[in-house]
A = this chain, B = another copy of it.
Amino acid sequence: MTRPTLKAIAKRVGVSVATVSRALSGRGRVDEATRERILRVAEELGYAPDMAARSLVLRRTENIGFLIHALQSLSPHTFYGEILTAVERELRRHRYHLHFATVEDETLPPLIKENRVDGLILVGCDLPPSLIHSLKERRIPLVLLDNHLPGIDSVFTDNIGGAFQATTHLIRLGHRRIAFIAETLDNLSFRERFEGYRQALEAHSLPFDPELVAEGERGFEGGFLAMSSLLKRTRPTAVVAANDPTAASAMRAIRAHGLRIPEDIAVVGFDDDPLAVHTDPPLTTMRVFRSKMAVLAVARLLDLIKNPEQPALHIRVETQLIIRQSCGSPLT
């Protein structure tokens, strides 16, 4: 009832463990007939190498750590959930395994020092840079996903370009008083989206009005709070939300003020979250290619593991405007 070992197979077949090891690993010559017998017995016993023994001698675990800030993973979006499953799927394709861990501060997660992983995917832009740098100093192969930092490999969303496009969409529909709301601007992605919004205004010679910008707070009610406080002091004809959950909860605030969407206020979100299709009306938004980004990050990480000394690559993935009903038709 105990796990089969090389020794067990060796005894059964009547050869040495070395031969069995060679036969199973494919490295080194071994007679075709005995190889067959060995493979058969191994199959029969359901043999698989013990990972502890293997990684002790090989000095690699074939595990990849998926690190995310505890804040993020608790968030209502499914955004990082989809990234997680996409990363796992891709790792599995390459026979790697996924270690999932959350971090709450800058202390080094134990899986690093204990040598539990060969590399790291650091997800989201809420991980403290100080932590990222101390990880980097340990020379663990790593890539940032949905985040970027000078000198460190990264795969990230074109937030500026996306927000630029979203805002431009509203401008083309005839809007001039366009607001920007976010749960918080204390977040790189949201700040970049804000930047894209400003650049679009500027590119179309529209004035930037700080009155039209509002922050709420992190979490479900963020968009509601931001939109409510904004509506108390001014009245835009359109609003760019930093992400879809923010947009969805802003829509509730708009309605609570007796205004209609999109007739009174048009709304555009960001992420193309699954909930975008459930809002009323369905939300126009910027699609973010989570799964594609996951695949790219895994590929880059595995390459870095094989070949550590490389200049950092920064892979920016564009977004795509998905038009639904929350922006309506051109203003007349």
Contact = CB atoms under 8 A, between A and B. Distances in A.
16 contacts: A1-B139, A49-B114, A50-B56, A51-B116, A52-B53, A52-B115, A70-B89, A74-B85, A78-B78, A92-B101, A97-B99, A97-B110, A98-B101, A252-B280, A255-B280, A278-B278
Given A78-B76, A81-B78, A280-B255, A48 B114 contact: yes
A113 B274 CA distance: 36
A122 B179 CA distance: 46
A290 to B, nearest CB: 11
Interface of A: 1, 3, 46-56, 61, 63, 66, 70, 73-74, 76-78, 80-82, 84-85, 88-89, 92, 95, 97-102, 110-111, 113-116, 139, 220, 245, 248-249, 251-252, 255, 274-275, 277-280
B70 A61 contact: no
B73 A115 contact: no
Contacts of A46: 113
Contact of A61 (B52, B73, B81, B220): B52
Given A61-B52, A278-B252, A81 B73 contact: yes
Contacts of A255: 280
A74 B70 contact: no
A275 B76 CA distance: 8
B84 A100 contact: yes
A110 B76 CA distance: 31
A220 B277 contact: yes
A112 B218 CA distance: 39
